[in-house]
Structure 1
Amino acid sequence: MAEISPDTAAGLALLGQFSDPSFSSLLKWTFRNACGEDAKGKPQAMTALSDVKDLEGEDEIMIKSAHMALLTFIYEAAKTDMHPVQITSLLEDAKLPEGHIKAISGLFERCKPILRNVLSRNRISFPKLIDIEWRLDHQMRSRTLDQVREAVYLVRLKLKEPTGHEKLIEMTCNHSELADLHARLKNATLKVEKLIRGAKGK
């Protein structure tokens, strides 16, 4: 079952304190700024709080708190492709009126394709390492009259881009450079494992 943070839940609960016209304006303003584009993918300029006339006279701190909570909620719901039943359940837990819940759920379903498109374009993605090959070669190096055979390693990395395309990265290195690369990768792996263990322990 999806969950939201206590801060987000508290901010969502504030939505129940607005009048119907103020809530409607806040809802549309938040979704407009969250999408950043219309249904055809055309960019939309973000609007400032001062431009939302129906919110005049409302407590500015309460507006911003509710706005940020709603923004966080709809981005998380879009990112996880949250089911309407889950959305309704979470909003009910935040003690929102039934009319507010229906309005948020309905607008979210209409805007979800745009929101997911915005998130897919703005997220930071890195290539995934899917294969590694290496082979030992030798290189002749001349030292005046003598020739020295030096071990050279050819390393080939196969990566998969977020788009699905694959690419190869090839490099050559000597024994000490390969040992240094191995040590750095091992150290990075240990740090990631430590972070994961720390996150699970919280």
Structure 2
Amino acid sequence: MQAKDRSRKQEERTFTENARRAQIVDAAIEVVAEHGYPNTSFAKIAKQAGLSSTGMISYHFNGKNDLIRAVTAEIVRVASEFVTAELDAEAGRAARLRAYFAANLALLDKYPHHQRALSSIVANAGAEDPQLFGLLDKLAEFAATQEQWLRDGQRTGEFRDFDVPTMVLAIRGARDAAIARAIADPNFDTAACARELADTFDIATRQTTATEPKS
């Protein structure tokens, strides 16, 4: 019985610690979004999270870089799950390409603090963390997935023949520029921008011959 009690207490501690870490990360996202990464401090995060002292943050994270790495991972996780769910609802790669822009700009509307925080982190990360808190590795993974997705579309005849890495750069560049514009301009029409980008890249990638999609 004592062993079971100890195990139960350990599980409860783990659950509580994970919940506290998540609370701190969420507060950090809001602070970075509001004040910018250079002006983010444990004191501001503790206040945002309703913590009595910064010691609670130090208990869970080994310094600011460790916390920002967790913040970046959470932002990427939320974005990936949201966009993936939107794309999975579409049939066909051409339709998924169109949905890609709508999903990413809808993400900005749904999680405005996340995108503002991530933009500030990327813009202000210093030489002490050349990997941008793990973000560059994730972006490389996303790019590789998109390249494969476009190649599959070419193979089935849904997309025309084009240089895939260049097209991925163009797609991601347009997405990033649209997000940056939306962050800077509160009156920016994200839905209209998503439609325009979808039309643009539909034309850029579409198969213009009479070739039917392969099975």
| Fold conserved between structures, TM > 0.5 | no
Larger Rg: 1
Q: Which has the higher contact order (CA 8 A, sep 6+)?
A: 2
When you count helix as a share of all residues, which structure comes out higher? 2
| Structure with the bigger percentage of strand | 1
